[in-house]
Chain A
């Protein structure tokens, strides 16, 4: 019996998402009194794999198979299912990012294991096994009982955080048997978004809405995000208008994020927008309308014109950085 965590790498390196998954897995394993097994798929150097040891990984299975070079949801499901079965995993944990959302439901059917999707805490109880998850687009949370002996969980990004627990992991190279005919996905073109911090990974996000008035006014907002080491985001109308790229659209129909700090500038705070950001730890709102609903979700607010407030904020951050 074990807790199996699937960690994702990008061209051989891990991001915060994987460290968070391992942190979660280690704590869950502890709660269940079972060992943690960490699975990595792809070519990842030992030095990189060892980084997972900082968050509690003590046993890492490294799997590189030509059939898993292209991401095909059936092939990945088959591979993870084989490892889960071999390790007698009673819980399999994935991220609820694009890959996790693609694989976890398939895995659930393949292993006849109940799925807890987008969970944000350790289980509320382990017998019965009850998880805590987002429901009604962030307007509520549900306590969901998973009734099967094996369970699949997908962890909401940035919900658990990193828990350091350093140690040296053992690394085993493993293999699975996958018929290459199972791989049905062919990729003809890859567009990479290089260098930029992924919005879903960012701890600080500065986001603009229609109150920014025009695509030409974004300078100080971007500068503020850069100074704070954060990412930029926007409301749906802003990306619909083409003022900002689609990747930045947050909300029910865009990205769902949970940074430590979300600064909403010129955003009214429609429920569909809040659906994507309400799990942020602290929300700051800057808006000319003191009655804007965003102030109900915000912990700090400034009633004022973004064009005037943003440059002053930039100056204030610079001043503090100089000290």
Chain B
């Protein structure tokens, strides 16, 4: 079996975002770019599955739609342990555009299990995984919190509102992952970093697709009101404020 992990390149989660160009663009000055946290966990789980020869995983590849500036993030994925990488050389337009490009990658290079994260921490669309599956006409399982291979077949746990379910779907499919998929992200070893340099990044040119949406502008959240402090000896006052001033009780 072959696994593909789709990775998006996002600002480190502690970044204080700022915008330029009339709030149309992210100010990339001083931003540290990382693998989207979900994708890092998907990659970790894919490699864990590959570690056990009984699972019969031959390759773990990663794919990214983005410009050459994202290559350090792709190299990091290779250093963590991915065998090969695909990069579609295009500005990652909207989710529809990205998914359409990824679909072309998969059509040319078939995979059995395709991992996507539940959302990328920049545009928070929760979209690419489902869109990719629909472009390919294959099943998708969402909110996946665990995946194992049992007797050669993937078995997944998915979260549903009010519980969780153990499910199976035939390969190929897209697993859209969330919390639980792996505990801690795997980190690159010294050896991994050395070998990553020689691993291939296949650069593909994009197919022509019009995005369906575009960001007109960004805005920062409204400034919060200053905090009103209440005497710790008299928390009753807090309850009164919540009742009479904030009116939430």
A binds B: yes
Q: Does A176 touch B at the CB level, under 8 Å?
A: no
- Docked Cα-Cα span, A278 to B220, in Å, equals 12
Separation in Å of the A275 CB from the closest CB of chain B? 8
Q: Quick one: which of A77, A116, A301 contacts B134, CB cutoff 8 A?
A: A77
Residues in A with CB closer than 8 Å to B236 are 312, 316, 319
Q: Is B108 an interface residue (CB 8 A)?
A: no
Complex alpha-carbon distance, A97 and B11, angstroms: 25
A142 touches B238 (CB 8 A): no
Which range holds the interface residue count of chain B?
35 or more
Instruction: Pick from A108, A130, A228: contact of B212, CB below 8 A.
Output: A108
Task: Count CB-based A-B contacts (< 8 Å).
Answer: 268
Task: Determine whether B130 belongs to the interface, using a CB cutoff of 8 Å to chain A.
Answer: yes
Establish whether residues B124 and A137, one from each chain, have CB atoms under 8 Å apart when the complex forms.
yes
Binds B, one of A39-47, A162-170, A184-192, A206-214: A184-192
Contact between B238 and A106, CB atoms less than 8 A apart: no
Most chain-B CB neighbours within 10 Å: which of A139, A282, A295, A312? Answer: A139
Is A101 in contact with B143, judged by CB distance below 8 angstroms? Answer: yes
B213 touches A116 (CB 8 A): yes
Query: Known interface pairs A185-B169, A193-B163. Does A146 touch B212 (Cβ–Cβ under 8 Å)?
Result: yes
User: Which residues of B214-229 have CB atoms within 8 Å of chain A's CB atoms?
Assistant: 214-221, 224-225, 227-229
Contact A191 B133 (CB under 8 A): no
Out of B215, B238, B239, name the residue touching A144 (CB < 8 Å): B215
CB–CB A108/B13 < 8 A: no
Beta-carbon contact of A249 and B162 below 8 Å: no
The chain B residue with its CB closest to the CB of A118 is B124
**Proximity string of chain A (267-287) to chain B, C-beta cutoff 8 Å, 1 when within and 0 when not:** 000111001001001101100
CA distance A215 to B158 in the complex (A): 27
The B interface, classified by DSSP as helix, strand, loop or mixed, is: mixed
Q: Which of A136, A141, A188 contacts B11 (CB 8 A)?
A: A136
- Size range of the interface on A? 35 or more
Q: Are A73 and B246 in contact (CB under 8 A)?
A: no
Cβ–Cβ contact A140 & B218, under 8 A: yes
Minimal beta-carbon separation of B183 from chain A (angstroms): 8
**Chain A residues whose CB sits within 8 angstroms of the CB of B235 once the complex forms:** 302, 309, 312-313, 316
Write the chain B residue with the least CB distance to A116: B213
What chain B residues lie within 8 Å of A134 (beta carbons)? 124
- Nearest B-chain residue to A72, judged by Cβ: B139
Are B122 and A10 closer than 8 Å at their CB atoms? Answer: no
How far is B16's CA from A112's CA once the two chains are assembled, in angstroms?
A: 34
Residue A204 at the B interface, CB < 8 A? yes
Q: Tell me, yes or no, whether B56 is within 8 Å of chain A by CB.
A: no
B238, A302: Cβ atoms closer than 8 Å: yes
Assess the A114–B212 pair: CB atoms within 8 A.
yes
- Inter-subunit contact B215/A143 (CB<8 Å): yes
Across the interface, do A187 and B161 meet the contact criterion of CB distance under 8 Å?
no
Is B128 among interface residues, defined by CB-CB distance under 8 A?
Answer: yes
Whether A113 is near chain B, meaning CB under 8 Å from some CB there, is: yes
B58 within 8 A of A: no
Establish whether residues A102 and B13, one from each chain, have CB atoms under 8 Å apart when the complex forms. Answer: no
> Across chains A and B, which 3 residue pairs bring their CB atoms closest together, nearest first?
A105-B130, A304-B232, A102-B142
A-B contact pairs, 9 of them (CB 8 A): A104-B127, A106-B133, A118-B124, A136-B15, A186-B167, A191-B164, A272-B13, A302-B229, A313-B235
